[in-house]
Amino acid sequence: MKAARFHGREDIRIEDVPEPEVRPGAVKIAVDWCGICGTDLHEYLEGPIFVPPAGEPHPVTGEEAPVVMGHEFAGKVAEVGDGVDGITVGDAVVVEPIHRCGECAACSTGQYNTCEKLGFVGLSGGGGGFAEFVVVDAEWVHPLGDIPTDVGALIEPLAVGYHAVELSGVEEGQTAVVFGMGPIGLVTTGCLKARGVRVIAVEVADARKDKAATVGADEIIDPSAQDVLATISDLTDGVGADVAFECAGIDDVLNNAIACVKSRGRVVNVAIWGHPATVEMGPLTLNEVDVVGSIGYCGDHPATIAMVADGSIDTAALITGRIALDDLVEEGFRQLIDNKAENVKILVHP
């Protein structure tokens, strides 16, 4: 079958690989759509990061580069392995693309997203969504019901936003500030709006400011033209926001996030940082703010699917392109790298 495999930095090849075979307890899925993630771009430009390099097999999968990429995918069940109940050939499904050891302290408390050997389908081996077929253990297969599989491919990034919102503890009617309107900031905004939270978005790029409006941001602050902290203070009657989300990975943004929340407010860091952060500890301490990290998702897929199914979130603005697998690098990766602000999700059909 045709698949996109990571061989090395800036070396992703569309090639023929053996079609995976279903095994007991697992499900074979014909992929309809797979989104390109910022993590995929990082691997392409700076990797291998999550991809296990040749000679260093992943501790859970035992695989090493080259590996099939793509972890934001949905499709139809093509075959069901022995011992799998409740999943039928033809079902529309999305995969929670987790590899976890199942033995470490985090796994033993159910917090598998912080597994010390955490890996991802589509990055760490076990196939991926940039391929015609993938086989995954049934526990990670979530039924989409009537949700079409192109929207289903958005469930994975939406679950990242959903998880971050859960960790924030924000409640209906409260105010959140989301810093950075890249794909993760946008899905976080959408998940906040689905919960009835007022969202103040902070973003400098015009194209992304437009996207923020389409996913429902109530206010949009442009830090190149406005005083971010003074504006948030005005918009919250001097109280500060209830929570803030750092979706940019920039020192000034993190410090603004800490400074913009109320006494004992919470900041959720969703960004993956490429460098240590320089943090002003005074505002954190004197206002008893807490900063918590959020990574991926952990049991959030069913609620995320329900949120999409009941129409609480409008996903139309999130899909900005659809391409064929053969065009993955030129019309997918390069497009997202060269026209970052204009694009959110480009979906790939294998």
User: Which spans of this chain sit near a second copy (rule: CB under 8 A)?
Assistant: 104-106, 109, 111, 113-114, 118, 167, 238-240, 249, 262-264, 269, 271-273, 276-282, 284-295
Shortest spacing between CB 281 and a second copy, in angstroms: 4
Nearer of residues 34 and 270 to a second copy, judged by Cβ: 270
Q: Which is nearer to a second copy, 34 or 248 (CB)?
A: 248
Question: With respect to a second copy, which residue has the nearer C-beta, 139 or 290?
Answer: 290
What is the smallest separation between the CB atom of 7 and a second copy, expressed in angstroms?
A: 26
Q: Kindly state the smallest distance separating residue 188's Cβ from a second copy, in Å.
A: 15
CB of 95 to a second copy, least distance (A): 21
* Residue 53 or 282 having the CB closest to a second copy: 282
User: Least Å distance between CB 303 and a second copy?
Assistant: 18
Nearer to a second copy, 65 or 271 (CB): 271
The CA-based angle 161-164-167, given to 5 degrees, is: 150
Angle between helices 301-309 and 155-168 (to 10 degrees): 110
Looking at residue 74, its amino acid is: A
Minimum distance from CB of 270 to a second copy (Å)? Answer: 8
Least spacing, CB of residue 290 vs a second copy, in Å: 4
Query: Which of residues 24 and 293 has its CB atom nearest to a second copy in the complex?
Result: 293
**Is the omega angle on the peptide bond into residue 20 within 30 degrees of 0, that is, cis?**
no
Distance CA 245, CA 337 (A): 23
What does the buried/exposed string (b/e) look like for 88-120 if buried means 16 or more CB atoms within 10 Å of the residue's CB? eeebbbbbbbbbbbeebebbeeeebbbbebbbb
Q: How far is CA 292 from CA 266, 323, 340, in A?
A: 8, 36, 27
Q: Smaller CB distance to a second copy: residue 52 or 152?
A: 52
The region that residue 120 occupies, defined by phi over 0 for left and psi between -120 and 50 for alpha, beta otherwise, is beta
DSSP string for residues in 122-171: TTSSS--SSBSEEEEEGGGEEE-TTS-HHHHTTHHHHHHHHHHHHHHT--
In terms of CB distance, is 168 or 315 closer to a second copy? 168
Q: Rounded distance, CA 245 to CA 267, Å?
A: 6
- 293, two tokens: 């990290």
**How many Å apart are CA 295 and CA 290, to the nearest integer?**
16
Please answer whether residues 157 and 188 qualify as being in contact, where contact means their C-beta atoms are separated by less than 8 angstroms. no
| Element spanning 243, H or E | strand 241-246
Closest distance between a second copy and the C-beta of residue 289, in Å? 6
Q: Is the peptide bond before 66 cis (omega within 30 degrees of 0)?
A: yes
